Amino acid sequence: MTTYVFPGQGSQIVGMSEDFYKNFAVAKNTIEEIEDYSKINLKEIIFKDPNNQLNLTNYTQIAIFAASLCIFKTYKNEKGLNLNSINTMLGHSLGEYSALACSEKLSLKDCSIILKKRGELMHNAVEPNKTGMAALIGLSSSQVQNIIDQNDLNVQIANDNSQIQIVISGSINELENSKPAFLDNKVKKFVKLNVSAAFHSDYMLNAQKELSLEIDKLNFLSNNINIISNFNAKISNESGGIKESLKNQMANKVRWTESIKNLEKDGENKIIEIGPGNILSGLIKRISTNFDIKSINTIYDLDNK
């Protein structure tokens, strides 16, 4: 069977999914439906972005979600895809919400509303430009954690993206202070990311608590599709467990490497990335060479992949 994966923040680009919107009624209807639920003019932000809102977290997340959903629904229609033929879905950070909507574990309405709330909470969680994130190239999660522990660094692992790419979160000062320790211990590159806050860290705890109260109200549906949760990297089809993991996602690290390794252990060997860009395809290839990976982000990909 084929596994479907969905990207997170950082994959956004002006014009994403516009070719689907212009050429397929299902894509147009999907974006307009999400607009109705979120009360946000997504078409203007996604396709034109005249007010530079696309890179603001409170708009970025719902925008990527809308683009991913319209691409998946078009792909599903055009290929005659039956959800019963899908074994597993997963997404990176906000992409987990795309997976929940596309798998129909959550309704499009519920997912649109909760993701809008998530973006707003994360956007307002800390004072802008006081905290941030940095990508470390060259070491694994355990190696990075050893450096943090041995040097008593006040930063946290936010994303375990592959065996050689780890993202850390912390205050701007602590990130800068940690840089020499990492570069002196075989980290090849230390790259500050263009984000507004320290996501997937303790800085998000209050926002996570508030969001979890809203997640508790959601009705998670049962079907045969497994979800791999960012929080624990476990493959699960149990609605209660999926919900609890989602409640703990925002302030804890994304266990992407473990997730892909568990997918591999489960015998899956085909992956399709749905959504803007192909960031996840690149990460997955670094984790394992045993997957046949395709990315669908333009209408050209529908007939050529």
Q: Are 17 and 300 in contact (CB under 8 A)?
A: no
Q: Which residues are catalytic?
A: 93, 200
Beta strands 88-91 and 226-228 are parallel
* Residue 81: partners with Cβ closer than 8 Å, 6 or more residues away: 75
Neighbours of 299 (CB within 10 A): 20
The three-state secondary structure class of 102 is: helix
DSSP 8-state secondary structure symbol assigned to residue 16: T
Q: Are 264 and 290 in contact (CB under 8 A)?
A: yes
Beta strands 235-236 and 131-137 are unpaired
What is the Cα–Cα distance from 212 to 206, expressed in whole angstroms?
Answer: 10
CA-CA-CA-CA dihedral for 155, 160, 163, 167, to nearest 10:
-50
* Residue 38: partners with Cβ closer than 8 Å, 6 or more residues away: 62, 112, 113, 116
Task: Report residue 292: phi and psi, to 5°.
Answer: -90, 110
Task: Report residue 259: phi and psi, to 5°.
Answer: -60, -45
User: Max CA-CA distance within the chain?
Assistant: 56
